Structure 1
Amino acid sequence: MKSFRIAFLVAVCLLTAVAHHSLALAEEALCTCRYCESASARLGFGVDLGDDGPHYAPVRKVDVQHIKLDITPNFQERTVGGTTTIRFVPLRKAIDVLKLDAVDLTITSVEGSTPVSEFDNTSKDLTIAFAEPIPVGQESWVTIKHHCQPQGGFYFRTAEMGYPEQDTHCWTQGESHYARQWFPCFDYPNEKSTTEVICHVPSDMTVISNGRNLGESIDPRTNMKSVHWLQDKPHVNYLICVVAGYFDKLEDAAGKIPLGYYSQPTLSEHAANSFQDTASIMNFYQKEIGVAYPWHKYDQVTIRDFMAGGMENTTITTLTHNTIFTPATENIRTSRGLDAHELAHQWFGDYVTCEDWSHLWLNEGFATYYTHLYEGEKFGRDAMLYGLYRDATNRVLRNGANDKRPIVWKKYRNAGEQFDYRAYPKGSWVLHMLRSQLGEEMFREAIQSYLKEHALTTVTTPELQAAFEEASGRTFDRFFDQWVYHARHPDLKIRYRFDPKLSLAQITLEQTHKVDDDVMLFNFPAKFAFLCDGEVVLHTEDVTEAKHEFYVALPAKPEMVQFDPEYTLLAKVDFDKPEEMWINQLENAERATGRILALEALAKKKSNKAIDAIQKSLETDPFYGVRVEAAEALGKINSDESRAALRKTATPNDARVRLALVKATVGDYQPEEVSTLLQGAQAEKNPAIVAAWIEGLAKYSDEPVSQYLRASLEQESFRNEIAEAAVEAMRKSGSSQYVPDLAEQVARHADNYTTRGLASLLKTLASLSDEKQEKLQSLGQIAPHLNDPREDVQKGAIEALGKLGLEEARPILQAYADASHNDQLSKAAESALATLTKDSTPQPTELIELRKQMQDLEKSNDSLKKKLDELEKKLEATEEKKD
């Protein structure tokens, strides 16, 4: 064993020496050879060796019945400590070892109902050995004392971190596997238990958690408040949540269900805007789903600089503080969609939970679809279908065209890869197609049965399929196979001809996508609507082949032929029809989606007749979404006639349409219209629309525009929206004339900017700085923000240093690249160094690549050395034990 250790050390040293020697030779000679590139290929530098699955839910050796957390967050040191008690029962066979997930936790003691003989914690887990095996079915417990300064899972927002002191708070985020970073647990969604939280905070703070508040008390000696929460129905580990700090609260109710809305004191005056729909959403879901809200209460809490939009923790949803808005933006800003999505999760994701991440769509697809259903409940069916249209067009059809991954996919490298368009909008569309085929009542029956049968458990997709089959009495094997277990969507080419002698419509429908092992030939009902002398004739064909041709007898030649009139099929459709038919569809289609599809086709025609029809729709269509799409269609045409049509359109009352009209108006370069555009911008009061004007004016260098952008930097608006839009416009302009103005903002007004806005300000200042002296001055202003306690600002400062292109920034960036305490900042620094190297004095590609390889090798050697040291210690301990 000792000889192996010596040989191993020699190998490491030789590998390092060879690499350093190669770099020395490279700097002298690699200008004229390709050795570096070929060596990189042979040695495998930079190859991602991560686990690519397939991934399955881990086998449960015990049934976790209850988790009790007794914790104390320290806001000054940003640490959390306490005890975790886990009550469990062994399954199938006796256990003498219990292994828990525990990342970078310091474990100070472990006790159990069965004596603990030993425990060991690494940077990833905690292993507990019992003095004797615990038999199957015997209820047992362990109590673990621990503390940590968490790098994830548990977060603080304090004055020392750059936040208002009166907004001080902390919170937890468990999904997907982050709870293990602040307490030991079985951190996977196929385990459910009841939970309990006791949290100790200063007496003037508020604590919110899952379930029921059992009470609170204040210790007069320490002036610390203890708040006790109990979640008495089982839920998965990632849904455990604790939020503590200073909050203002609004209260409401949906029937007997108490609703609480918590927000930071500096934002609370506007909080009511964000939560105005919650009670209505709750009432609708209970009626639509057919299962009563399954928990005791429902709270929503805003979080400063939350990493996502929201998180559906059981009975307590955490939300980004950006969900709060003011009435100044009229109907452009709304929290309704986020509110509806997270509330739907209380049934789909919390009450019934996906067993592993390959079935994530059972959580996210449902939450996305029921958000659309609520939109339809509140504003009509067109509103629901418009949401589905935007999801299909902007996300599924675009992202899924070249993606061979199905919805249920087990070969992910990490759980985060599953949180994409497949789980959210495509999963939603699968449910919409099922509802369209079954009908609303049968769909509700299936969903109600699914939830009741699997209440408070975890599920996989076959359980949902079984519910639909039981309710309908038909098989859905093919449907789930093509839409859920295989990738993509159909591409359809549709052609129409009319035989006037026989009064027959001839339809040819062809599936043109490539069919292979990953993508099936689709089987679906194809629906057509024919408008003949004011009468609508409906016809449905079951498509089962690659090419399907059929005839439909009609009373007269149709003025309109529409495919999928109710918008029930997820597909990319190429339907070549005469312009007149598209205009008739724009004027006569019952559903807004049919009219929107007509707008898409007419925008490609670009004729004066098409432009007139689109402009008429922009002014007169009864549904706002059609008017929005009409404005966008005119903007895409980009002709003198389309611009004239935009200019003659009356200013819409609906702010959403007005915003679309502004974006279309300023989209093209129109130097002769600068004065008119500037007048429009200065007349607008809605800050969201002002921001759109500002963005569009970025392409003009006229002095009045420059003055307007400078003045916009000083204009007050909620969350600094207008000033931050001006910064973005200055960046897009590419003009160094704004450097003094940006420098002034950094020096005197940095506190006015949001976290993201300040990062953007720093990067814009860097990218516009021109001469060497100006760059050095900007370096002096950017560098201090490397010490900002907010990670996103630090990353912005690091990226800005890369954009400066100064060699003086290299040592600073290298220090961050070499640091191991924060992977995100280290990666940002490496990327900035690459940018800096690319922009500096040209060097041979081979030399740059070899330097990168050396950096990777040095990191690998550090890791190797740590593993070797650990191995040596274990060997020495083993040898001492033998002696």
Structure 2
Amino acid sequence: MKQFAFLGAFCLALTGAGAQESAPVAEVPKVFRATAEKVNDLVHTKLDARFDYQKSHLLGKAWITLRPHFYPTDSLRLDAKGMDVRQVAIVRGGQNKPLKYTNTGMELLITLDKTYSRTEPYTIYIDYTAKPDELKVEGSAAITDAKGLYFVNPRGEEPGKPTQIWTQGETEATSVWVPTIDKPNQKTTNEILMTVPAKYVTLSNGLLIKQTKNADGTRTDHWKMDLPHAPYLFFMGVGDFAVVKDSWRGKEVSYYVEKEYASVARGIFGHTPEMMTFFSRLLGVDYPWSKYAQMTARDYVSGAMENTTATLHQESAQQDARELSDGNDWEGTIAHELFHQWFGDLVTAESWSNLTVNESFANYSEYLWSEYKYGKDAADDHNMSDMQGYLMSGSEKKDLVRHYYRDKEDMFDAVSYNKGGRILHMLRNYLGDSAFFKALNVYLVNNRFKAAEAHNLRLAFEEVSGKDLNWFFNQWYFGAGHPKLDINYSYDEAAKQVRVIVQQKQTGDKLFQLPTTVDIYNGPNKVRHKIWVSNKVDTFTFNAATKPDLVNFDGDKVLLATKTENKTIAEYAHQYKYAGNYTDRREALDAAARRQDDAAAQAILLQGLSDRYEGLRAYTVSRLDLRKDAIKTMAEPQLARLSKSDPKRGVKAAAISKLATYRKAEYAPIFRSAVSDSSYTVAGNALEALVRVDSSAAVAEARRLANTKMKGKLAATVTNVLVQAGDPAAAAMMITNFEKLPLGQAKFEGIKPLTDLLGGLSDATLFRRGVDAVVKFMGEIPAAYRDQTTPFIEGLLGEVQKQQDAAGRKASAQYVQEKLAKKGF
């Protein structure tokens, strides 16, 4: 499962860029969340599914083969949420013999026809109707809904929106649409027959083994999965998709996209075969399944989901060619879900408490892929972003392996994802690449087609490395928090010694053991010293004939920690030039950005504008304080250069925005040229810049572009320019664009411009439509984030109400008030 990309952005937007202190933690029930007891084991599940589009029902017939796990049993408990059950029977000699059962609304409690031993498999037949829209269940921050089976525009009532069906099983929602033992420590093979209108295509686990055309205009597709996997990974997808075929070592790789994206499907997903080769080689275990397909879905309740052989992606994955020119924003998610096919699908967390063995690995795969494909700077950029996501999440009191939680859905958070991935990065650094990846191989081989927990992972690392790692796992996996380090450097001229004093300043009694390094630089020459930090205060001394140019703690920059250091700007300049990895350079740029009146700091920023990595060039642009004359003068020629000729569009876009603040007409040709750039971001930023130097030209360009296909930054900017110019169609355009955006970061960022528009809008019909769109979005925000976001958006709507009231539009002001009162989240 990949979370919504915007989950951390809500907090960032509302709290600012500083690290967030631990938020108050709700009372957690003192109930130990044990691994589910296994009384019966799933063996095979066969489902015959037909769909009632008018009622959003599934008409199902299921044959479920089981056997007692160890002890003999005469009863069976199946999860079956919100179903109407017509018959439960035991299958004997090809005949269905009715059994006694109780349907609680959430479970089927079945009395078997006899007592079965663990050597006696048996098959249960169930005839039922699944009614997902009539079931009330709670989702999570990562998975906003848990009704399992979703009908999208089933009656065709929403113009322009496709009709689709898709499922979402994690955590325990497969049992909304097929009776099962809905626990992650169960493994079963399965086959699914779907009868659908013949115009649609289907997707499920495993291989499509048969298609049958029916006389009523439907078609029955028969999918079969021959290898066992957990029930939450079962999948059905139905819709009017284009299917773009690829391959990997003779296995089908396919991309299911809406037809308008067929021409760019390979641009979105085309690295998948290369990823499969890379991960197979890295892990020493070839991709284990019969095929790999990826499907996009409208109204999806999360970012993406790793259903075995059939990953489902949110519609945001569908980017057109111009969006892709900025870089594929979804590529990390594609890697994340593919890696789950090993970590989560082949070997599955035995309980939600141990979610780390699924999600932390998938999170870290994004780093691994980026490192392999785009280089270490890009990977370390991603690492820092994910680390900040954890540090700002207020999760210091949460263990990674968590046996106490309010609800299993709460496990899908910045600890299981971001922090867990950073912990793996530290372990890799400590053990070395050879041992780290060999241990992953041992873990996968020893536990394939089984469920596992963090201790299985520890044992694999210990087996390979020969090291006892209880200290590491107790500290990072079975404990909470992170170190907060204060690091001071000094040089004793008389003793010819460097002194490094490290204080752990986190609250509480917990002290971390941190194997790390101290690098001592004289010019470009580096001497590395390995150390262990383990006390409240540790003092380390190293011989040095002369005062070093730089002493650099955590030389590889892998520690999950906050750090305060007493380095001078001259030392940071040396760090930028000679220490050289992404985080070293980023730390130096941050130090320089805090001291922009200092000539040495200005020199560092000037270097940053020509950094070898595009991410740091763009970051440096963003940190320039052009209110300072020296910075403004120094940066201008560099910004003009980047605006005209930087090969990376992200840098070009950032530079254009910054250059616009000079408000010089001489830069109008740069902006006019860039308005036609293939990148929506570059073009949008250029149009914004053109407004500042030639507003009439900007309006003319906006009117020209309004008749073309636009998305992203360009669409937002064109609309804003036309709104400011008083174009009567612009308000409708802005509202329509907002309505079309899927739930995500772009939609969140569109709230403020939309409410700014609504404040002065006189068209009552458009006004109400815009308010409705904002209120609808508020209701779609994951429940875990509503406490943070709702007051922010309500405040914006409150300003809209005041502006409408002040303009004498009392009915519109009253409409806002009524909508807020009725929002009913």
Q: Please tell me whether residue 647 in structure 1 is matched to residue 640 in structure 2.
A: no
Say whether residues 1:689 and 2:682 are aligned partners. yes
User: Structure 1 stretch 346-355 or stretch 331-340: which is displaced more?
Assistant: 331-340
Question: As a proportion of its length, which structure holds more helix?
Answer: 1
Take 1:525 and 1:785, find their aligned partners in 2: how far apart are those partners? 52
1:546 equivalent to 2:536? Answer yes
The one of 99, 104, 115 aligned to 1:122: 104
Q: Name 1:624's counterpart in structure 2.
A: 614
Alpha-carbon separation, structure 2, partners of 1:397 and 1:185: 38
Residue 801 to residue 376, structure 1, CA distance change in 2 (3 Å)? closer
1:562 positional shift? 1.6
My pick for the range that moved more, 525-534 or 133-142, is 133-142
2:179 equivalent in structure 1: 184
Tell me which structure has the larger Cα radius of gyration. 1
Change (3 A) 1:816 1:595: closer
Mapped to 2, the partners of 1:748 and 1:620 lie a distance apart of 40
Residue 307 of structure 1 corresponds to which residue in structure 2? Answer: 301
Output the CA distance in 1 between the equivalents of 2:156 and 2:555: 54
Secondary structure of the 2:105 match is coil
Give deviations 1:190-235, integer Å, cap 9, x for gaps. Answer: 111111111111223222111122221212x223211111111110
* Partner of residue 78, structure 1: 56
Structure-2 change in CA distance of 1:762 and 1:455 (3 Å): closer
Task: Verify the 8 A CA contact 1:361 1:427 in the aligned structure 2.
Answer: yes
374, 382, 394: which one aligns with 1:379: 374
Q: Secondary structure at the match of 2:390?
A: helix
2:397 to 404, 408, 420: 404
Partner SS for 2:472: helix
2:279 aligned to which of 256, 264, 285: 285
**Among 234, 243, 248, which residue is 2:242 paired with?**
248
Work out whether residues 83 and 144 of structure 1, in 8 Å CA contact, stay in contact via their aligned partners in 2. Answer: yes
Letter in 1 for 2:508: V
1:261 paired residue number: 255
Structure 1 residues 791, 80: CA separation in 2 closer, same or farther (over 3 Å shift)? farther
Residue of structure 1 in register with 2:467 after alignment: 474
- The answer on whether the counterparts of 1:117 and 1:130 sit within 8 Å (CA) in structure 2 is yes
Aligned residues of 1:68 and 1:86 also touching (Cα < 8 A): yes
2:450 to 454, 457, 460: 457
Structure-1 separation of matches of 2:747 and 2:514: 50
Contact 1:742 1:765 in 2 (8 A): no
Tell me what 1:716 maps to. 708
Q: CA distance change for structure 1 residues 645 and 341 in 2, over 3 Å: closer, same or farther?
A: farther
Spell out the pairing of 1:79-228 with structure 2 (5 A cutoff): 79-113=57-91, 115-151=97-133, 152-158=147-153, 160=155, 167-219=162-214, 221-228=215-222
Q: 1:78 touches 1:156 (CA, 8 Å); kept in 2?
A: yes
Change (3 A) 1:738 1:188: farther
The verdict on how the C-alpha distance between 1:345 and 1:678 changes in structure 2, with shifts beyond 3 A counting, is farther
1:499: which partner in 2? 492
Secondary structure of residue in 2 paired with 1:485:
coil
Match of 1:846 in 2: none
Deviates more, 1:459-468 or 1:372-381: 372-381
Alpha-carbon separation, structure 1, partners of 2:721 and 2:481: 37
Deviation by residue 1:258-291 (Cα, 9 ceiling, x = unmatched): 2111211122122111112111111111111011
**Deviation of 1:486 (Å):** 1.4
Residues 159, 165 of structure 1: 8 Å contact kept: no
Counterpart of 2:40, as a letter, is V
Per the alignment, in what secondary structure is the counterpart of residue 444 of structure 1? helix
After TM superposition, give the deviation of residue 326 of structure 1 in Å: 3.2
* Number of equivalences: 759
Change (3 A) 1:764 1:331: closer
Give the secondary structure class of the aligned counterpart of 1:107: strand
- The 1-side partners of 2:655 and 2:734 are apart by 33
| Match among 224, 243, 250 for residue 230 of structure 1 | 224
TM-score for both structures, normalised by structure 2: 0.83
Aligned to 2:567: 577
Q: Is contact 1:248–1:264 with CA below 8 Å preserved after alignment?
A: yes
* 2:312 aligned partner: 318
TM-superposed deviation, 1:446: 1.0
SS at match of 2:663: helix
Residue 479 of structure 1, CA deviation: 0.9
Distance 2:697 2:391 in 1: 38
Cα pair 1:736 1:768 within 8 Å, conserved = no
Say whether 1:336 aligns with 2:335: no
Q: In structure 2, what is the Cα distance between the partners aligned to 1:560 and 1:304?
A: 53
- Relative contact order (alpha carbons < 8 A, sep ≥ 6): 1 or 2 greater? 2
Give 2:619's aligned amino acid.
E
Q: What secondary structure sits across from 1:295 in the alignment?
A: coil
Question: Residue 450 of structure 1 contacts residue 463 of structure 1 at CA under 8 Å; is this kept in 2?
Answer: yes
Assess if the C-alpha contact under 8 Å between 1:174 and 1:239 holds in 2.
yes
* CA apart distance, 1:702: 11
Distance 1:705 1:305 in 2: 39
Q: Which string of whole-angstrom CA distances, capped at 9 and with x for unpartnered residues, describes residues 494-548 of structure 1?
A: 11112334432111111111233xxx20111231112214321111111221111
AA of the residue aligned to 1:289: L
Cα gap change, 1:812/1:683 in structure 2, threshold over 3 Å: closer, same or farther? same
- Find the residue that maps to 2:393 and give its secondary structure: helix
Shift of 1:370: 2.0
Does the CA-based 8 Å contact 1:531-1:561 persist in structure 2? yes
Question: Which residue matches 2:22?
Answer: none
- The amino acid of 1:58's aligned partner reads A
Structure 1 distance, partners of 2:151, 2:701, is 36
| Inter-CA distance 760–613: structure 2 relative to 1 (3 Å threshold) | closer
Q: Secondary structure at the match of 1:830?
A: coil
Match of 1:563 in 2: 553
Task: Report what 1:422 is aligned to.
Answer: 415
Deviation at 1:84, TM superposition (A): 1.5
Deviation at 1:631, TM superposition (A): 2.1
Deviation string, structure 1 residues 348-398 (Cα, Å, up to 9, x no partner): 010001111121111111112122112111223333222212222x31233
1:526/1:648 Cα in 2 relative to 1: closer, same or farther (>3 Å)?
same
Q: Distance in 2 between matches of 1:189 and 1:229?
A: 22
Q: Give SS of 1:615's match.
A: helix
Equivalence for 1:531: 521
| Offset at residue 53 of structure 1 (A) | 3.9
Residue 32 (structure 2) pairs with residue 54 (structure 1): yes
Deviates more, 1:573-582 or 1:408-417: 408-417
Structure 1 CA distance, aligned partners of 2:183 and 2:322? Answer: 43
Q: Which amino acid aligns with 1:178?
A: A
- List gaps (5 residues or longer) in structure 1: 1-46, 818-826, 832-883
Native 8 Å contact 1:162 1:788 kept in 2: no
Residues 253 and 292, structure 2, Cα contact 8 Å, conserved in 1: yes
When residues 727 and 224 of structure 1 are mapped into structure 2, their CA distance, relative to the original with a 3 A threshold, is same
The 1:185–1:763 alpha-carbon spacing in structure 2 relative to 1, beyond 3 Å, is farther
Cα pair distance change 1:810/1:244, threshold 3 Å: same
In the other structure, the counterpart of 1:841 is none
Once residues 758 and 283 of structure 2 are traced to their aligned partners in structure 1, the CA distance between those partners, rounded to angstroms, is 57
Pick aligned residue for 2:477 from 463, 484, 491: 484
Distance (Å, rounded) in 1 between the aligned partners of 2:231 and 2:177: 12
2-side partners of 1:378 and 1:141: how far apart? 48
Q: 1:748 to 1:472 in 2, by over 3 A?
A: closer
Q: Give 1:661 shift.
A: 3.2
- Compared CA separation, residues 97 and 327, structure 1 to 2 (3 A): same
TM-score (ref. length: structure 1): 0.77
Match of 2:41 in 1: 63
Between the aligned partners of 1:227 and 1:496, the Cα distance in structure 2 is 68
How far residue 64 of structure 1 moved from its aligned partner, in angstroms, is 0.9
Identify the residue that residue 732 of structure 2 maps to in structure 1.
Answer: 744
For the residue of structure 2 that corresponds to 1:525, the secondary structure is strand
Superposition deviation, residue 172 in structure 1: 1.0
